[in-house]
Amino acid sequence: MTKYFLVFLSSILLASEPITPIPKTVYVDMKKAKLGQELFFDTILSRDDSTACFSCHNVYEGGADSRKVSLGFHGKKGNIQSPTVLNARYNFRQFWNGRAANLLEQADGPLNNPAEHNMNKKDIEKKLNNSPYKKKFKKVYGTSKVKYKDVLDSIVAFEKALITPNAKFDKYLRGEATLSKNERQGYILFKQYGCMSCHNGINLGGNSYQKMGTFLEYKNDKEYPDRNKVSHHKHDINVYKVPTLRNISKTAPYFHDGSAKTLRESIDTMAKHNLGIYLTQEELQSIETFLYTLDGDTPSILETDVPQ
């Protein structure tokens, strides 16, 4: 009786909460995903064999980059902080300014960017067809030659597998765990102060755009590729896709400019600039404690070896 009552209570809770748990499992074409995983970690996709997707997206440590900006071809610096690829399948658009409609467009971007992989369709196909990957693609895709579209398809299959289920907060929503007093208080403050207005849904973000500095102006020391670079509308200056808060404790530094070195600093900054409030140290600590409950499991695909 107790088991069914808990299930009933959790269903009511889920219906009333603006956050949805990540599914425990998702369908993945493992043959494509494992091939994509191998490519993700391989520097062969860069012109000077220096950069892999993993170079800017450490999937074992939050899926982002611990540097303010990433380094690419010939050590060139990027122009914005690398966002996490973990749970990226749940974002409504990709990149900070939303210029990619999906993961396929997102995967295509860095490969052709002169400051990142500095490659193109023709050169990637030539390079892979003169490598052991030719046989691997034939095995997975049944083609006699490696095709660029299949390269992207395999990488996307891998990225779609990068989900981090079973965060403590997800378990709480499913009625499988309880929050500590401090975690619960942090969640209450998170909702009361309006953080939830932007950070909601399955990814606690990634589903809308927001201006950085709606109450207190947020000044940049240089220009960044914001939403304005896509829309060319004046009101989109300093507007970015709201980042996911999942595994947020592992993705420092924070913001598009990587200016916040710690999670607590990022909470304090967002409260001032986007909520117009000044949090006490106790409130900052409580909200930070709640955000730690959003750390999920390591994606299961990373726990299995890549077939050779």
* CB atoms near residue 192 (< 10 Å): 9
Statement to judge: residues 158 and 180 lie in one domain? no
Burial of 71 (0-12, 13-18, 19+ CB in 10 A): middle
In a domain, 230, yes or no: yes
Structure tokens at 169: 């907060």
In a domain, 261, yes or no: yes
Structure tokens at 183: 């975690």
Statement to judge: residues 84 and 173 lie in one domain? no
In a domain, 1, yes or no: no
Specify the range with the lowest mean pLDDT, choosing from 14-18, 157-161, 212-216.
14-18
Statement to judge: residues 41 and 159 lie in one domain? yes
Instruction: Check: CB of residue 98 under 8 Å from CB of residue 227.
Output: yes
Catalytic amino acids? 116
Statement to judge: residues 135 and 221 lie in one domain? no
In a domain, 19, yes or no: no
| Average pLDDT over every residue of 68-88 | 96
Question: If DSSP codes are grouped into helix, strand and coil, which group holds residue 88?
Answer: helix
Whether pLDDT at 155 is above 80: yes
Share of the chain above pLDDT 90, in %: 91
Instruction: Check: CB of residue 111 under 8 Å from CB of residue 35.
Output: no
CATH of the domain at 257: 1.10.760.10
pLDDT, one tens digit per residue, over 44-74 is 999 999 999 999 999 999 999 999 999 999 9
d(CA 273, CA 54): 32
Share of the chain above pLDDT 70, in %: 94
In a domain, 9, yes or no: no
Whether pLDDT at 305 is above 90: no
* Beta strands per DSSP E along 71-205: none
| Average pLDDT over every residue of 78-85 | 97
Total number of domains in the chain = 2
b/e code 272-303 from CB counts within 10 Å (16+ = b)? bbbbeeebeeebbbbbbbbbbbbbbeebbbee
Whether pLDDT at 255 is above 90: yes
d(CA 189, CA 287): 7
| Average pLDDT over every residue of 111-138 | 98
Residue 304: pLDDT band with limits 50, 70, 90: confident
pLDDT, one tens digit per residue, over 2-60 is 444 444 444 444 457 889 999 999 999 999 999 999 999 999 999 999 999 999 999 99
d(CA 182, CA 110): 41
In a domain, 3, yes or no: no
Find the largest Cα–Cα distance for the chain: 64
d(CA 157, CA 143): 18
DSSP-assigned letters across all residues of 5-71? HHHHHHHHHHHH-S--PPPS-----HHHHHHHHHHHH-GGGSTTS---HHHH--TTTTTS-SSSS-B
- Closest to 57 in 3D by CA, of 41, 44, 73, 46: 41
b/e code 37-56 from CB counts within 10 Å (16+ = b)? bbbbebebbbbeeebbbbbb
Statement to judge: residues 181 and 286 lie in one domain? yes
Burial of 217 (0-12, 13-18, 19+ CB in 10 A): exposed
Domain boundaries, position 107 = 30-163+298-303
Statement to judge: residues 35 and 159 lie in one domain? yes
Residue 308: pLDDT band with limits 50, 70, 90: low
Residues listed for the chain: 308
Instruction: Check: CB of residue 183 under 8 Å from CB of residue 177.
Output: no
pLDDT, mean over the chain: 94
Statement to judge: residues 285 and 173 lie in one domain? yes
Three-state SS string across 97-118, please? Answer: CCCECCHHHHHHHHHHCCCCCC
Statement to judge: residues 85 and 115 lie in one domain? yes
Statement to judge: residues 249 and 228 lie in one domain? yes
Whether pLDDT at 132 is above 50: yes
pTM of the predicted model as reported, rounded to 2 decimal places: 0.92
Residue 1: pLDDT band with limits 50, 70, 90: very low
Statement to judge: residues 179 and 275 lie in one domain? yes
Q: What pLDDT does 306 receive? A: 60
Specify the range with the lowest mean pLDDT, choosing from 16-20, 197-201, 261-265, 304-308.
304-308
CA atoms within 13 A on the CB side of 132: 6
d(CA 23, CA 102): 20
Statement to judge: residues 49 and 99 lie in one domain? yes
